[in-house]
C-alpha cells in the first residue's frame, strides 16, 4: 500500500545562536493555531535532549536549546521527525488545563471602538458583546509586552484586519480586536487594534507573588460587567487580578 | 563586613545588570541583561570570579560613588574618565576603593556602555533569577543619586590588582549577519545592496534597539504588508515602515511584525551595542554554518579572557605622592599601591 508523502507542513528555520523556529504559516491571520499549539505541546513532551524552552507565537513554535548540550543539527533533526509524525495542520487545539473568567466592561468610553468593530463583524453592539463573551478563547501567544495575551479565536465574522492607522494610546487592560483575536493590553500602548472594552486584569505584575498569570493554552472567557462594577474593580486593583478567577480543569 | 556602595551622583541612564533572564520568551520578556555582555565577562576575568556577577551599567557617563568598606572593583566596557580622589584610573583594570575615598566616573571617551563591577557583586534580591533592570518590561529601574547598594562578599579580598588589554570595539565597524527566518523574503538584489551600504548609528538608541541611517532607498520586501508577528531575538535587523533598518538589542520585544533581514552574531553584538551616535556600521553576511562554527560559550570566553589577565603596574608619572613611597627597601607583597 502506498501512502503519498505528506506535504511539507512547516518550515524549520534558524533564529539566532541558540534557537530554531517551526513556522506553520507566514501570513497574518493564517489561523494555524491548532497546529501551533498541538505541535508546541508535543515538542515540550518529547523532552528533546538540550532543549531549554518551547513556546508558541501565532504561526510558529520557537525551540531554544543549550549549545553546550546539543547542536542545531540534532535539534532540527528531532523536530523534523516530530513534524512528520502527525498531520499537525488538522490537529485540534489541545484541551485546556485551566480556565480564566475575566470581568470586562464593553462599549462606552472604555470601549470607544465597539460600534465600529461590531459594524465590521456585521452585528449589533449588543450582539457583538454576546459573541465575545460567548467565545471560549484560548491563550494563543504571549508577547509584545510582558504577559500580554493574544486570545482566539472569535467567530469567523470577526476576521477583519487591524486598522491602518494607529490609535495613539490604549490603556493597560484594554480589550482590543482584529483578525478573530483579542489582545488584552498589559501596558498602555500605541496600537492598530480596535478597543472594544476594558478589564482591570494585569497579566504581568512584578510585585505579585505570581508575576505572570497566564500560560499558553489557557482557556479564557470575558464576563461583561457594568460601569459601576468596573469602577469598583479598578479602585481595588491591589493585586492586578481585576476580579478574574482561575479554574483548574480535570 | 561588606558595606554598601553609595551613589552620590548618577548619570542619566544607570542600571544594575547581570546576564539577564533567559527562558521567559514565552511570557513576553526578552533576555535583557548587560547591553555589552563581554564587558561583564571581562570584569569577571579581572576580578577572578568563577562566573559574571552584577554590574552597574552606565550609558554615556557614570557618576560619583563612595563605599563604606574596602571594595575591589573592575572598570570595563566603554572607557570613561575615572579617578579616585583625583588620581586617574586605568580602564579595563581592577582598583581598590577605600572608605573615605570618592570614585568619580565621567563621560565615555569612546563607546556607550561602561561597567562598574564590585568583586563581591551586589547583595540585592534577584527577581525571576536576575537583578537586571529591564526597563522596557517595567522590571527594576534607573539607579539614582542617594541610593545605597549593599555589597556582596569579595571572594578574593587581597588579590593583586589586574588589567586586561582589550581590543577596541567602541567606535562601530563591521559586524557579521547570519540568516534568520525571514532573510529569504528579501530579494537577492535588496540583500546585496544592504551588505554594500555604509550605515551610521542614528540618534535613536537605547537598550531595546538602535536606529541605523544611510543614504538612498530603504530595504523592503513585498511580504512585509501581511506578515504575522513572529519571534525576535537580540541582534535581529528589522526593516520598519519604509525599509529603514533598526537593530534590536537586549531589551527587544519578543515578537514583532516587521520583516527582519538577519541576525547579528552574538560575538559582534558588543561592538554594535557600544557604537556611539554617528559611528560607521557595515554588515557582512555569513552562512548559518559559519555563524555556528564561530559561536563560543560564555564560560569558554571567560576562560580565554582569564588567561590574558595581567598584573596592573602603575605608571609612576600618575602617582602624585611617588616620593612618599619606600621604593626599594623592604619586602612587599606587591599590592602596596592598592592599599594606599
Which pLDDT does position B317 carry in this prediction?
Answer: 58
Give yes or no for residue B327 having a pLDDT over 50. Answer: no
Angle between helices B298-306 and B37-47 (to 10 degrees): 40
* Global confidence as pTM: 0.90
Kindly determine whether residue B180 and residue A14, on different chains, have CB atoms separated by under 8 Å: yes
Which pLDDT does position A3 carry in this prediction?
Answer: 55
- Domains of chain B listed by start with CATH number: 4-163+309-339 (no CATH), 173-294 (2.40.100.10)
Contact A17, B295 (CB under 8 A): yes
Q: What is the largest CA-CA distance in chain A?
A: 67
Instruction: Report the chain B residue with the minimal C-alpha distance to residue A68.
Output: B297
Residues A115 and A230 in one domain: yes
Residues A55 and A135 in one domain: no
Angle between helices A114-121 and A125-134 (to 10 degrees): 80
Cβ contacts (< 8 Å) between B233 and chain A: which residues?
15-16, 19
Contact B163, B92 (CB under 8 A): yes
Kindly determine whether residue A144 and residue B255, on different chains, have CB atoms separated by under 8 Å: yes
- Measured in degrees and rounded to the nearest 5, phi and psi for residue B76 equal -140, 180
Neighbours of A221 (CB within 10 A): 16
Q: Which of B27, B135, B256, B259 is most worth mutating to test chain A (most A CB atoms within 10 A of its CB)? A: B27
The Cα A125–Cα B228 span in angstroms is 28
Kindly determine whether residue A206 and residue B256, on different chains, have CB atoms separated by under 8 Å: no
Q: Is residue A3 part of a domain?
A: no
pLDDT in tens, B202-233: 999 999 999 999 999 999 998 887 888 899 99
Mean pLDDT, chain B, integer: 92
Section B264-281 average pLDDT: 98
The Cα A205–Cα B141 span in angstroms is 15
**Cα-Cα-Cα-Cα dihedral of A30, A31, A32, A34, to 10°?**
180
Q: Is residue A218 part of a domain?
A: yes
Residues A82 and A103 in one domain: no
Kindly determine whether residue A28 and residue B181, on different chains, have CB atoms separated by under 8 Å: no
Residues A115 and A212 in one domain: yes
The Cα A143–Cα A150 span in angstroms is 8
Section A100-110 average pLDDT: 97
Cβ contacts (< 8 Å) between B288 and chain A: which residues?
14, 72
pLDDT in tens, B56-67: 999 999 999 999
Section A116-124 average pLDDT: 98
3-state per-residue secondary structure call for B203-252: EEECCCEEEEECCCCCCCCHHHHHECCEECCCCEEEEECCCEEEEECCCC
Q: Which CATH number do you get for residue A37?
A: 3.30.1360.40
The partner residue sitting opposite B28, judged by closest CB among A15, A60, A146, is: A146
- Give the count of domains, chain A: 2
Cβ contacts (< 8 Å) between A190 and chain B: which residues?
none
Helix, strand, coil percentages (3-state) for chain A, rounded to 5, are: 25, 30, 45
Contact A24, A36 (CB under 8 A): yes
C-alpha cell at A31: 489561523
Neighbours of B192 (CB within 10 A): 12
Share of chain B above pLDDT 70, in %: 92
The Cα B103–Cα B83 span in angstroms is 6
The string of DSSP codes covering B121-177 is -B----BTTB---BTTTTBS----TT-EEEB---SSTTPPPEE------SS-EEEEE
Name the more confident of A29 and B173: B173
Kindly determine whether residue A62 and residue B139, on different chains, have CB atoms separated by under 8 Å: no
Share of chain B above pLDDT 90, in %: 86
Neighbours of B6 (CB within 10 A): 16
Q: Give the residue among B252, B201, B243, B199 at the shortest CA–CA distance from B224.
A: B243
* Residues in chain B whose Cβ is within 8 Å of chain A: 22-29, 127-128, 137-139, 178-181, 185, 223, 226-231, 233-236, 253-257, 263, 265-266, 288, 291-292, 295, 297
Q: Is residue A105 part of a domain?
A: yes
Q: Bridge partners of B209?
A: B248
Q: What angle do CA B5, B104, B305 make, to 5 degrees?
A: 75
Q: Which residue has the cell 471560549?
A: A136
Name the more confident of B319 and B258: B258
Contact B310, B42 (CB under 8 A): no
Q: Which of B177, B229, B231 is most worth mutating to test chain A (most A CB atoms within 10 A of its CB)? A: B231
The Cα B194–Cα B174 span in angstroms is 13
Residues A59 and A121 in one domain: no
The Cα B87–Cα A106 span in angstroms is 65
- Measured in degrees and rounded to the nearest 5, phi and psi for residue B305 equal -65, -40
Residues A135 and A180 in one domain: yes
Kindly determine whether residue A16 and residue B295, on different chains, have CB atoms separated by under 8 Å: no
Q: Which residue, A53, A71, A90, sits at the end of a domain?
A: A90
Residues A118 and A164 in one domain: yes
Kindly determine whether residue A53 and residue B26, on different chains, have CB atoms separated by under 8 Å: yes
Give yes or no for residue B336 having a pLDDT over 50. Answer: no
pLDDT in tens, B154-198: 999 989 999 999 999 999 999 999 999 999 999 999 999 999 999
Kindly determine whether residue A146 and residue B235, on different chains, have CB atoms separated by under 8 Å: no
Which pLDDT does position A2 carry in this prediction?
Answer: 53
Residues A220 and A143 in one domain: yes
Residues A239 and A185 in one domain: yes
**Domain with A81 in it:** 11-90
pLDDT in tens, A196-241: 999 999 999 998 999 999 999 999 999 999 999 999 999 987 889 9
Q: Which CATH number do you get for residue A102?
A: 2.40.100.10
Q: Which of A12, A13, A41, A75 is most worth mutating to test chain B (most B CB atoms within 10 A of its CB)? A: A13
Give yes or no for residue B322 having a pLDDT over 60. Answer: no
Q: Give the residue among A128, A99, A98, A109 at the shortest CA–CA distance from A230.
A: A109
Which pLDDT does position B325 carry in this prediction?
Answer: 47
C-alpha cell at A3: 501512502
Q: Which residue has the cell 538540550?
A: A50
Burial tier of A248 (Cβ tally within 10 Å: 0-12, 13-18, 19+):
exposed
The Cα A122–Cα A130 span in angstroms is 13
Which pLDDT does position B324 carry in this prediction?
Answer: 47
Q: Which residue, A25, A56, A90, sits at the end of a domain?
A: A90
How distant, in Å, are the alpha carbons of A164, B199, B263, B278 from that of B203? Answer: 27, 13, 21, 7
C-alpha cell at B52: 559574571
Residues A43 and A145 in one domain: no
Kindly determine whether residue A15 and residue B233, on different chains, have CB atoms separated by under 8 Å: yes
Q: Bridge partners of A175?
A: A184, A197
Name the more confident of A4 and B296: B296
- CA-based radius of gyration for chain A: 19
**Shortest distance, CA A244 to any CA of chain B (angstroms):** 19
Cβ contacts (< 8 Å) between B127 and chain A: which residues?
206, 211
How distant, in Å, are the alpha carbons of A46, B21, B117 from that of B149? Answer: 44, 21, 12
Kindly determine whether residue A212 and residue B228, on different chains, have CB atoms separated by under 8 Å: no
Q: Is residue A1 part of a domain?
A: no
Q: Is residue A27 part of a domain?
A: yes
**Cα-Cα-Cα-Cα dihedral of B68, B73, B79, B84, to 10°?**
40
Q: Which residue, A90, A108, A137, sits at the end of a domain?
A: A90
Q: How, if at all, do strands B310-311 and B209-213 pair?
A: unpaired
Cβ contacts (< 8 Å) between A25 and chain B: which residues?
228
CB pairs under 8 A between A and B: 126
Section A38-46 average pLDDT: 96
Residues A18 and A37 in one domain: yes
Q: How, if at all, do strands A98-106 and A219-224 pair?
A: parallel
Residues A151 and A125 in one domain: yes
pLDDT in tens, B298-309: 999 999 999 999
Amino acid at each position: 500500500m502506498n501512502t503519498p508523502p505528506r506535504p511539507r507542513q512547516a518550515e524549520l528555520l534558524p533564529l539566532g545562536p541558540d534557537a530554531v523556529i517551526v513556522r506553520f504559516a507566514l501570513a497574518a491571520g493564517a489561523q494555524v493555531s491548532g497546529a501551533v499549539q498541538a505541535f508546541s505541546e508535543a515538542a515540550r513532551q518529547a523532552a528533546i535532549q538540550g532543549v531549554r524552552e518551547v513556546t508558541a507565537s501565532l504561526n510558529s513554535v520557537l525551540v531554544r536549546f543549550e549549545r553546550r548540550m546539543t547542536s542545531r543539527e540534532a535539534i532540527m533533526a528531532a523536530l523534523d521527525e516530530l513534524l512528520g509524525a502527525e498531520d499537525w495542520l488538522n490537529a485540534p487545539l489541545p484541551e485546556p488545563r485551566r480556565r480564566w473568567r475575566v470581568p470586562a466592561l464593553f462599549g462606552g468610553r472604555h470601549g470607544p471602538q465597539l460600534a465600529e468593530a461590531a459594524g465590521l463583524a456585521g452585528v449589533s453592539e449588543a450582539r457583538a458583546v454576546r459573541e465575545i463573551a460567548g467565545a471560549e478563547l484560548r491563550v494563543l501567544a504571549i508577547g509584545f509586552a510582558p504577559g500580554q495575551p493574544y486570545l482566539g479565536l472569535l467567530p469567523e465574522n470577526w476576521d477583519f484586519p487591524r486598522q491602518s492607522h494607529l490609535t495613539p494610546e490604549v490603556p493597560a487592560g484594554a480589550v482590543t480586536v482584529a483578525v478573530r483575536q483579542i489582545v488584552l493590553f498589559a501596558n498602555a500602548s500605541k496600537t492598530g487594534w480596535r478597543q472594544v472594552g476594558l478589564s482591570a486584569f494585569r497579566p504581568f505584575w512584578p510585585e505579585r507573588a505570581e508575576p505572570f498569570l497566564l500560560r499558553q493554552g489557557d482557556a479564557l472567557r470575558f464576563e461583561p460587567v457594568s460601569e459601576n462594577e468596573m469602577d469598583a474593580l479598578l479602585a481595588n486593583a491591589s493585586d492586578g487580578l481585576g476580579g478574574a478567577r482561575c479554574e483548574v480543569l480535570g | 563586613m561588606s558595606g554598601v556602595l553609595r551613589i552620590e551622583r548618577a548619570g542619566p541612564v544607570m542600571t544594575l545588570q547581570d546576564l539577564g533572564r533567559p527562558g521567559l520568551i514565552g511570557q513576553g520578556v526578552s533576555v535583557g541583561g548587560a547591553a555589552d555582555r563581554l564587558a561583564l565577562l571581562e570584569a569577571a576575568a579581572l576580578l577572578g570570579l568563577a562566573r559574571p556577577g552584577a554590574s552597574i551599567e552606565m550609558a554615556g557617563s557614570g557618576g560619583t560613588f563612595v563605599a563604606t568598606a574596602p571594595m575591589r572593583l573592575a572598570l570595563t566596557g566603554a572607557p570613561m574618565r575615572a579617578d579616585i580622589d583625583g588620581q586617574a584610573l586605568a580602564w579595563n583594570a581592577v582598583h581598590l576603593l577605600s572608605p573615605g575615598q570618592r570614585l568619580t566616573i565621567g563621560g565615555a571617551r569612546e563607546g556607550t556602555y561602561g561597567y562598574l563591577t564590585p568583586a563581591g557583586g551586589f547583595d540585592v534580591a534577584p527577581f525571576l533569577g536576575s537583578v537586571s533592570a529591564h526597563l522596557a518590561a517595567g522590571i527594576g529601574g534607573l539607579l539614582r543619586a542617594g541610593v545605597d547598594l549593599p555589597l556582596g562578599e569579595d571572594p578574593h579580598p587581597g588579590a593583586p590588582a589586574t588589567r586586561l588589554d582589550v581590543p577596541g570595539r567602541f567606535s562601530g565597524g563591521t559586524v557579521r549577519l547570519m540568516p534568520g527566518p525571514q532573510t529569504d523574503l528579501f530579494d537577492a538584489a535588496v540583500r546585496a545592496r544592504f551588505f554594500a551600504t555604509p550605515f551610521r548609528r542614528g540618534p535613536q538608541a537605547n537598550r531595546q534597539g538602535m536606529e541605523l541611517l544611510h543614504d538612498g532607498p530603504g530595504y523592503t520586501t513585498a511580504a512585509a504588508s501581511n506578515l504575522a508577528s513572529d519571534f525576535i531575538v537580540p541582534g535581529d535587523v528589522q526593516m520598519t515602515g519604509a525599509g529603514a533598518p533598526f537593530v534590536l538589542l537586549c531589551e527587544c520585544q519578543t515578537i514583532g511584525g516587521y520583516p527582519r533581514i538577519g541576525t547579528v552574531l552574538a560575538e559582534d553584538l558588543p561592538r554594535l551595542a557600544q557604537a556611539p551616535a554617528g559611528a560607521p556600521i557595515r554588515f557582512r553576511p555569513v552562512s548559518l554554518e559559519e555563524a555556528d562554527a564561530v559561536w563560543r560559550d560564555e564560560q569558554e570566553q571567560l576562560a580565554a579572557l582569564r588567561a590574558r589577565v595581567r598584573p596592573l603596574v602603575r605608571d609612576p608619572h600618575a602617582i602624585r605622592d611617588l616620593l612618599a613611597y619606600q621604593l626599594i627597601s623592604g619586602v612587599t607583597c606587591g599590592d602596596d599601591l592598592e592599599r594606599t
